[in-house]
Structure 1
Amino acid sequence: TAVLSRKLQLSYLFAGLYNDYWGRDAAVLRTMGRMPHIRTEPDDERLLKEPKFVGSYMIPDNEDREDNKVYFFFTEKALEAETGTHAIYARVGRVCANDMGGQRMLVNKWSTFLKTRLICSVPGMNGIDTHFDELEDVFLLQTRDNKNPVIFGLFNTTSNIFRGYAICVYHIASIRAAFNGPYAHKEGPEYHWSLYEGKVPYPRPGSCASKVNGGLYGTTKDYPDEAVRFARSHPLMYQSIKPVHKRPILVKTDGKYNLKQIAVDRVEAEDGQYDVLFIGTDNGIVLKVITIYNQDTESMEEVILEEMQVFKCVLHFLQQQLYIGSESAVAQVKFHQCDMYGTACADCCLARDPYCAWDGISCSRYYPTGIRFRRQDVRHGNAAQQCFGQQFIEALAKTEELVVYGIEYNSTLLECTPRTLQAKVIWFMQRAHEARKEETDDRIIKMDLGLLFLRLHRLDAGTYFCQTVEHSIVHTVRKIMLEVVEEGRVDEMFNKDYEEDIPHRMPCPAQSSIPQGSKPWYKEFLQLIGYSNFQRVEEYCEKVWCTDKRRKKLKMSPSKWKYANPQEKKARIRPEHYRLPRNVVDS
């Protein structure tokens, strides 16, 4: 990881890396420019012990450029951990950008290097916190004041018991307070780490040679030996850095994703300011998330806005676009895709996307300076209040109706996905010739994409209602009429086709070639279901079987619709009766 600094039109490169081929010599160094090359002292485990560098930034403390500091974020083995010799801690390291090293000791070595622990943990009921100690990624969110950015850290667990991820937010003021606080020190008969309460030399170890610090020393080479020696023996600060609200803003322990990278955009909404998190996973999915802090309950609410499938990625922002890069390609993704939330005011408000609002016509990009009244409620998602008088009832009353046909003993999927990821999906069914609705039974698998019947039965025929529940608003999204075709009737139909021995029979012959008084064979299929649904089934068959593409394909291979003999028919059909979906077999 590296950061590039410009001073007097000269460039300086600050980097944290391994300085050898075998990956043993870890170093924080400065190269380029007129100042001497400088690095951490090699083979000193008090400074760095098998670190994994993640990110680095130059963050000014004030208007004095001589007081600029560079911060390094990394993970390393912790010497001060008393619970075990292999404990891993997340760290923040800091050096002065104008550090010249010492005069008689630490020559061409950092004389201002300090570090402290970066904590991201979930408070426990018994006072024992669950720590996320391995830093995966870090993102610096710039604000209007470049001296006070907001830092987002993505952490992983080092536990052998469970796998989890957390995102914590830090203010730079907390980081500065830790570096300006007491130093850590080993003392006592067992050399436990404790607070250093002795005399601290002047100038304060870790401070820069600048006017802000008195201006008595032109460079660090002029520092007294006592100050340089103290900095060398006390690189660790005693106070750790705790996140905002003293807890993560997001915790993921479901094992669904391995989170690897994070980027953040701050956006103004109708009801306040929100930080939108774009989280990259190792399988090419980008999560678009916002989190809302409830001050009364001291808890965080997670709202997943989108799950975008891209590829293995590196996240970067530029002009309201998210650029996602891999080793072989770059993809451009918009921050906002408001049209995906539908054309109703209720759907737009329930999405709770700070980029989007209802403008009276459609769900579109929200602009805080717009002159039109916009309807949006990111914090609560109260669509009933926001959309009152905006065809709210009519929008919820719209239900898509579908007819689905399944063969007995085969697998069938009834598809239904909500528009927002926060909605809970509930299925109800009304069996044929029954008036009451009931919840689906345990034999049917509820999946993200809908209801999966592993083996369809005759009693499964009926009407299925897919309802979404979100913020006490119930919306029937789909009404699916499932017709089950009996296995024996299908066999009879094919058997009849064989006995009549009509050559090259097609399921959908061209209408012009049909002799007057005859009918296409697929219309005989209507007898399997009943003449009450004649028109509906005919339309369905026309749509599925009678396209030009399908007709051409069937003309090329008529044998697909004809068996050579009854034994071949049985050999081909019977094994498919009990076939499970591939994903079920593999699992």
Structure 2
Amino acid sequence: MHLLLSLCVVWLLPMAWTLEGNSLPRRIISYQQDNVDLFQEEGVFNYSTMLLREDLGLLVIGAREAVYAVDLHNVSIKFASVKWEVTQAQTDDCGNKGKDPETECKNYIRVLHEMGDNRMYVCGTNAFDPQCDFMSYADGTLTLENKAEDGKGKCPFDPYQKFASLMVDEDLYSATSMNFLGSEPALIRSPDVSIRTEFKTAWLNEPHFVSLVHIPESVNSATGDDDKVYLFFSETAVEYDYYNKVVVSRVARVCKGDLGGERTLQKKWTSFLKARLECPILESQSLTPYIIQDAYRWCDPFKPWTDCLIFTIFTPQDASDLSAVCVYNMLDISRVFTEGKYKTPVTVETSFVKWVMYSGEVPSPRPGACIDDAARKANIDQTLDLPDLTLQFVKNRPLMDNVIQPVGEKPSLVRKGATFTRIIVNQVQAADDRMYHVMFIGTENGTVVKAVNYDGEMFIIEELHVFKSPEAIKILRFSIVTDQLYAGSDSGVVQIPVATCDRSSTCIDCVLNRDPYCGWDKETGTCVALSQLQKKLIQSVQDGDASLCPKSAPNTPVNQSIWVGGNLKLHCTNPSIHAATIWEQDGRTLSPTGRHYFLKDDLLIINTSDSDAGLYSCLSVERSKTNEYTSTLAEYQVNVASSATGRGDDIGFPHAQRDSPNVAGLYAVIAVFVIAFLGLFAWNLYNGHFTRSCIRRDKSKQLSPESHEEMAIDSSHNQRRTESENKPLVPDTNNSSSNNNHNNGEAT
């Protein structure tokens, strides 16, 4: 018996298990309105910008031509809103420049940042003429101050163009295009001391900006170093000798205190350096590098910046359907810029430029370095004091030779299916007192993937459909105040709890789900969220050891009754995609036959016979790192009765009530049918149809013997088919559906 179960598991379990883990989610949750809280306004689209104002209990949402303030605890509750629409003249001017007046020539809110004075800084595309303004919230009202500022270099012109922005100490860092055509990409700091990148392909070559993060490297620095701002993006590579363009992923950095150069690089970054990011996906057959789509900085507030991690999403350039999460250590990234080699352009054959590793002398101070104690000792107190030799080196050689590899030199997660779009990470302490990073990943199909990497093992806990129709998730935010996740798309914003423990109804299911947020409470017999106030819960996130669970109480079989020759459907839903569903009859494993069909959530038995009676058990068989676990999901006691037994009352089959109103109604229907049939017969006789049919039969006598034989075969076949179609599978009895169906079982 157990050997047979093991063999079934080998054949039936999904084939995606690898040494690194399973790329399939353990469960997929279809869209249900009760699963999420939703905010949307009729006629408003593109909810792609969010600002958490946890101090005010607000989630501020930027959409197309509107800004909303909703309840942080329930986004379906709107507190305030303000419109920021373009004028008809602006729409006409935008349309005259070749843009779509109905879509592109609107004001898409793309920038939302909190200021130090409790106000908010907001920017919009404004019909391809970006503008910025200040906004405040007081007494339940959102108010724009109407102090319009030029948004060029702060906000993109094109509402669909990728860009990044970050507010650090009242300074706005923006990575976007500075002109209408999108041909002048730049990383800019504004407004007080405006600094930007050079318009050179060696600096930025057709970039797609992804994310900006601030790293406080000056805190407790032994060398008096400066804070850094890191830019993640992709661009066309200048260092590869290919006929076709090759897009690669990059990370660049600048120093927070950079003021530009005195003569060389005036009002330009003197600290701009960039390096290539590698995310090696061994499973991929792609010939081109995977491209970065999003980056999220995670830092422990009680640890130094060197322990910060950057979680990134990579997707293919070709038709591959793999997506990956690569995690980078901030110290590894920093070392490439502080200790790595540079690349330099070399002219080959008078026209072709090739980038190679620079092997010459590096000037001092080191090109691209921030002002630190060593520079101050050399009387260089600010970047304006840097020598031209250092500045010329940075201007011509901003590219580093070293390639930055992820932690473990491989992805933390590889997934086949819907393309990843956004990522956000939360750290949670499990019952084993260890800290785990739970990744929440948005996809193009409007789902959120919840996953953890357990010491190199990829494990996807669940995939939740958060929107009714598939649409790309454009932004993700997480609140530590509410422990809720917020996802935005074109159609609206949804709020999702990070802990969904109540989806597990048994201890085995709760433990095998390996969710750091959840554990099994033996006293209440429920899967609950962990908290410091609760007593010890059963949990095994590393191994999925379900042997820790107490022995479950036996199931009470559900009685099912069916006549001989009828059809019976027994329902059973397996909570895990990783598990195999096994059906047993009286302890004997069933196999698919001509009468037994294994459906997704059901066992279908057709043309039942006396041998189909017995106890049916639906088993879930799932393997974790420790063992293989079998649990009973449902049991049915099936009784089969023969029509020749007189429909015995001992098994509870109902009898027809001859004097009931239903039977009288049936007689009336039969009478109407007979009258209609006689009328139809008389009409055909009157029109001579039967005479012509007789003539056709006379002509058929002149056919060949072979034709007579074929007609006889067809007639016999049609007669058997008619008899088969007219033969009822279950004897016709009143109210049989209410008595033969019980709970999850269905008899027909």
TM-score, structure 2 normalization: 0.58
> What amino acid does structure 2 have at the position aligned with 1:178?
V
- For 2:342 and 2:563, the matched residues in 1 are separated by 72
C-alpha distance 352-15 of structure 1, shift in aligned 2 (>3 A): same
1:288 aligns with 2:450: yes
Contact 1:122–1:129 (CA<8 Å) still a contact in 2?
Answer: no
The equivalent position to 1:417 in structure 2, one of 552, 573, 594, is 573
2:466 corresponds in structure 1 to: 309
Q: Report 1 or 2 for greater relative contact order, CA contacts < 8 Å, sequence distance ≥ 6.
A: 2
> What amino acid does structure 2 have at the position aligned with 1:68?
D
1:353 corresponds in structure 2 to: 515
1:59 corresponds in structure 2 to: 215
C-alpha distance 208-409 of structure 1, shift in aligned 2 (>3 A): farther
2:373 corresponds in structure 1 to: 211
1:137 corresponds in structure 2 to: 294
Q: Residue deviations 1:332-383, cap 9 Å, x none? A: 21111212211x333321221111112322221213x456222211011111
The equivalent position to 2:601 in structure 1, one of 429, 444, 450, is 450
Q: What are the within-5 Å matches in structure 2 for residues 508-527 of structure 1?
A: none
- For 1:347 and 1:164, the matched residues in 2 are separated by 28
- For 2:234 and 2:561, the matched residues in 1 are separated by 55
1:363 corresponds in structure 2 to: 527
C-alpha distance 306-158 of structure 1, shift in aligned 2 (>3 A): closer
- For 2:214 and 2:616, the matched residues in 1 are separated by 59
- For 1:304 and 1:18, the matched residues in 2 are separated by 39
Q: Residue deviations 1:434-487, cap 9 Å, x none? A: 99532225998866x52597xx8536977865321123111231346899999x
1:380 aligns with 2:543: yes
C-alpha distance 225-345 of structure 1, shift in aligned 2 (>3 A): same
Q: Structure 2: which 5+ runs fail to align?
A: 1-163, 643-655, 657-662, 673-727
> What amino acid does structure 2 have at the position aligned with 1:501?
A
Q: Residue deviations 1:522-578, cap 9 Å, x none? A: xxxxx96479x999854357999xxxxxxxxxxxxxxxxxxxxxxxxxxxxxxxxxx
C-alpha distance 106-229 of structure 1, shift in aligned 2 (>3 A): same
Contact 2:514–2:542 (CA<8 Å) still a contact in 1?
Answer: yes
- For 1:418 and 1:375, the matched residues in 2 are separated by 21
- For 1:258 and 1:399, the matched residues in 2 are separated by 44
> What amino acid does structure 2 have at the position aligned with 1:302?
F
- For 1:425 and 1:224, the matched residues in 2 are separated by 69
Contact 1:428–1:440 (CA<8 Å) still a contact in 2?
Answer: no
> What amino acid does structure 1 have at the position aligned with 2:620?
T
C-alpha distance 457-346 of structure 1, shift in aligned 2 (>3 A): closer
Q: Residue deviations 1:300-333, cap 9 Å, x none? A: 3323235243365321111211112234433221
**Aligned-pair RMSD on alpha carbons?**
4.0
Contact 1:67–1:212 (CA<8 Å) still a contact in 2?
Answer: no
Q: Structure 1: which 5+ runs fail to align?
A: 295-299, 487-492, 506-526, 545-587
Contact 1:305–1:352 (CA<8 Å) still a contact in 2?
Answer: no
1:29 corresponds in structure 2 to: 188
- For 1:84 and 1:124, the matched residues in 2 are separated by 26
1:339 corresponds in structure 2 to: 502
Specify the SS of the correspondent of 1:252: strand
C-alpha distance 69-539 of structure 1, shift in aligned 2 (>3 A): same
C-alpha distance 233-464 of structure 1, shift in aligned 2 (>3 A): farther
- For 1:502 and 1:134, the matched residues in 2 are separated by 70
1:175 corresponds in structure 2 to: 333
2:109 corresponds in structure 1 to: none
Contact 2:412–2:453 (CA<8 Å) still a contact in 1?
Answer: yes
1:261 aligns with 2:422: yes
Specify the SS of the correspondent of 2:212: strand
C-alpha distance 134-285 of structure 1, shift in aligned 2 (>3 A): same
Contact 1:290–1:302 (CA<8 Å) still a contact in 2?
Answer: yes
> What amino acid does structure 2 have at the position aligned with 1:154?
I
1:12 corresponds in structure 2 to: 171
Identical aligned residues as a percent: 30
1:563 corresponds in structure 2 to: none
- For 1:248 and 1:404, the matched residues in 2 are separated by 53
C-alpha distance 308-204 of structure 1, shift in aligned 2 (>3 A): same
Shift of residue 274, structure 1, vs aligned partner? 1.4
> What amino acid does structure 1 have at the position aligned with 2:424?
A
- For 1:328 and 1:69, the matched residues in 2 are separated by 36
- For 2:235 and 2:447, the matched residues in 1 are separated by 28
Shift of residue 95, structure 1, vs aligned partner? 1.0
- For 1:403 and 1:224, the matched residues in 2 are separated by 89
Contact 1:468–1:477 (CA<8 Å) still a contact in 2?
Answer: yes
> What amino acid does structure 2 have at the position aligned with 1:316?
R
> What amino acid does structure 2 have at the position aligned with 1:175?
I
1:398 corresponds in structure 2 to: 555
Answer with 1 or 2: which has the greater Rg.
2
Shift of residue 164, structure 1, vs aligned partner? 1.2
Contact 1:287–1:308 (CA<8 Å) still a contact in 2?
Answer: no
Q: Which moved more, 1:412-421 or 1:82-91?
A: 412-421
> What amino acid does structure 2 have at the position aligned with 1:59?
I
- For 1:260 and 1:198, the matched residues in 2 are separated by 42
2:259 corresponds in structure 1 to: 100
Q: Residue deviations 1:492-523, cap 9 Å, x none? A: x9xx9997225999xxxxxxxxxxxxxxxxxx
Shift of residue 247, structure 1, vs aligned partner? 0.3
Shift of residue 188, structure 1, vs aligned partner? 7.7
1:539 corresponds in structure 2 to: 739
Q: What are the within-5 Å matches in structure 2 for residues 88-237 of structure 1?
A: 88-123=247-282, 133-143=290-300, 144-145=302-303, 147-148=305-306, 149-160=308-319, 162-180=320-338, 181-187=340-346, 189=348, 192-211=354-373, 213-215=375-377, 216-237=379-400
- For 1:485 and 1:184, the matched residues in 2 are separated by 84
Contact 1:168–1:247 (CA<8 Å) still a contact in 2?
Answer: yes
Q: Residue deviations 1:55-88, cap 9 Å, x none? A: 0011122326871111000111111123553111
Contact 2:595–2:607 (CA<8 Å) still a contact in 1?
Answer: no
- For 1:291 and 1:243, the matched residues in 2 are separated by 14
2:630 corresponds in structure 1 to: 474
> What amino acid does structure 1 have at the position aligned with 2:535?
R
Contact 1:444–1:451 (CA<8 Å) still a contact in 2?
Answer: no
- For 1:484 and 1:364, the matched residues in 2 are separated by 42
TM-score, structure 1 normalization: 0.72
Q: How many residues align?
A: 483
The equivalent position to 1:46 in structure 2, one of 186, 202, 207, is 202
- For 2:205 and 2:594, the matched residues in 1 are separated by 54
Q: Residue deviations 1:125-145, cap 9 Å, x none? A: 9xx997752111111112133
Shift of residue 101, structure 1, vs aligned partner? 1.5
